[in-house]
Amino acid sequence: MNGNTLRRSGFTLLELMITIAVLAILASIAYPAYQDQLRKGRRAHAQSFVVEVASRQQHYLLDARTYAVGADALTVLNLPVPPEVTGFYTVTVEPGATVSPPTYTIRAIPIAGSSQQPDGEMTMDQAGRKTRGGQPGW
């Protein structure tokens, strides 16, 4: 064969650079959306746990005529904080006003520096009122 008719197969450097640039653009768009979905999933885990604590509180109230509150409330309720929650939130049960009937507030506070911090604190009280970041509802 003649040297002029010989074709080489493969990609040119320019084609390879364009492909890498397109992939980089796609990744820069997709990665924040992926991180947002992870944050929403962790938030859902924390919300589910807070609802579970509230449910246990109602059962505990029937037996003890008071709510489990304070630093050992989750221990008294026999509720370990799930691993999906412990790395991102601190969950506490605080006593409400000293009135009859008793009250409480469950707080899920994002750990400082975690990816959940922009969500703000989530709360739920004995009446089922929920807040997130100081706004009503979750």
Least Cα distance to 118 among 44, 41, 48, 39 occurs for: 39
Q: Specify if 71 maps to a domain.
A: yes
Would the pLDDT of 116 be above 60? Answer: yes
Q: How many other β-carbons are positioned within 10 Å of the β-carbon of residue 124?
A: 23
The residue ranking higher by pLDDT, 118 or 53, is 53
Q: Specify if 54 maps to a domain.
A: yes
Q: What is the pLDDT of residues 34-73, one digit of tens each?
A: 999 999 999 999 999 999 999 999 999 999 988 999 999 9
Q: Specify if 2 maps to a domain.
A: no
**Domain that residue 65 falls in:** 13-136
Q: Specify if 112 maps to a domain.
A: yes
Q: Specify if 63 maps to a domain.
A: yes
**What is the pTM assigned to this prediction?**
0.80
Q: Specify if 5 maps to a domain.
A: no
Separation between Cα atoms, residue 77 and residue 69, nearest integer Å: 10
Chain-centre distance of CA 74, in angstroms?
19
Q: What is the CATH number of the domain that holds 90?
A: 3.30.540
